[in-house]
């Protein structure tokens, strides 16, 4: 359930919704990486290259609400249960799709509580998810994207058709495009 801070957001929908996931997908319990929080205030911050040295670009946050969106690709950090927004490098291994709004106007308890760091991550090959705009890169809706097009983690963490080239290893396919419509896509999760 969304805990809205502003009544004008009462019609906000979750941007990542399971369609066929009853037996195929699992919400995995993970923790936000320490880079998500300002060390002194404990507030959620924008993940930039100055905050997280592995990033080449800023992680996507929705304009106006300043929240990280459900459906954003996350990657696991080392052997820990900590996750961060993917940064579109072939050396990272995408872990799943973020299940919560984090930070900003749609925050689900992470900004107001320094102790709340647990997030859900949707995982499960062959599960189908509906992703609402702007939680995916606009190039997914382009004419070049057809049914079955592989989708990757972009440099801002959103799903994209752009194949990652930095890092030198084979990029990991996060999902395959099943259907695209105005302001939404259906994807077959591959991780």
pLDDT tens per residue, range 113-122: 666 788 999 9
Residue 9 maps to a domain:
no
What percent of the chain has a predicted confidence (pLDDT) above 90? 52
Mean per-residue pLDDT, 38-56: 81
Closest listed residue to residue 73, CA positions, set 23, 110, 121, 117: 121
Total domain count for the chain? Answer: 1
Range of the domain at 40: 14-189
Check whether 1 has a pLDDT greater than 70: no
Check whether 102 has a pLDDT greater than 70: yes
Most confident of 25-29, 79-83, 86-90: 25-29
Residue 52 maps to a domain:
yes
- Whole-number Å distance between alpha carbons of 24 and 156: 27
């Amino acid at each position: 359930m969304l805990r809205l801070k502003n009544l004008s957001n009462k019609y906000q929908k979750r941007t990542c919704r399971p369609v066929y996931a009853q037996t195929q997908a699992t919400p995995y319990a993970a923790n936000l990486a320490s880079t998500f929080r300002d060390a002194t205030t404990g507030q959620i911050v924008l993940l930039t290259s100055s905050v997280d040295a592995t990033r080449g670009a800023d992680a996507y946050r929705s304009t106006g609400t300043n929240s990280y969106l459900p459906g954003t690709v996350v990657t696991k950090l080392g052997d820990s249960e900590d996750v961060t927004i993917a940064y579109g490098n072939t050396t990272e291994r995408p872990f799943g799709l973020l299940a919560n709004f984090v930070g900003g106007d749609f925050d689900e308890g992470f900004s107001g509580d320094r102790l709340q760091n647990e997030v859900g991550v949707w995982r499960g090959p062959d599960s189908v998810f509906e992703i609402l705009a702007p939680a995916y890169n606009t190039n997914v809706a382009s004419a070049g994207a057809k049914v079955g097009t592989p989708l990757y983690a972009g440099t801002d963490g959103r799903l994209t058709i752009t194949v990652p080239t930095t890092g030198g290893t084979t990029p990991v396919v996060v999902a395959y495009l099943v259907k695209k419509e105005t302001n939404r896509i259906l994807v077959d999760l591959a991780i």
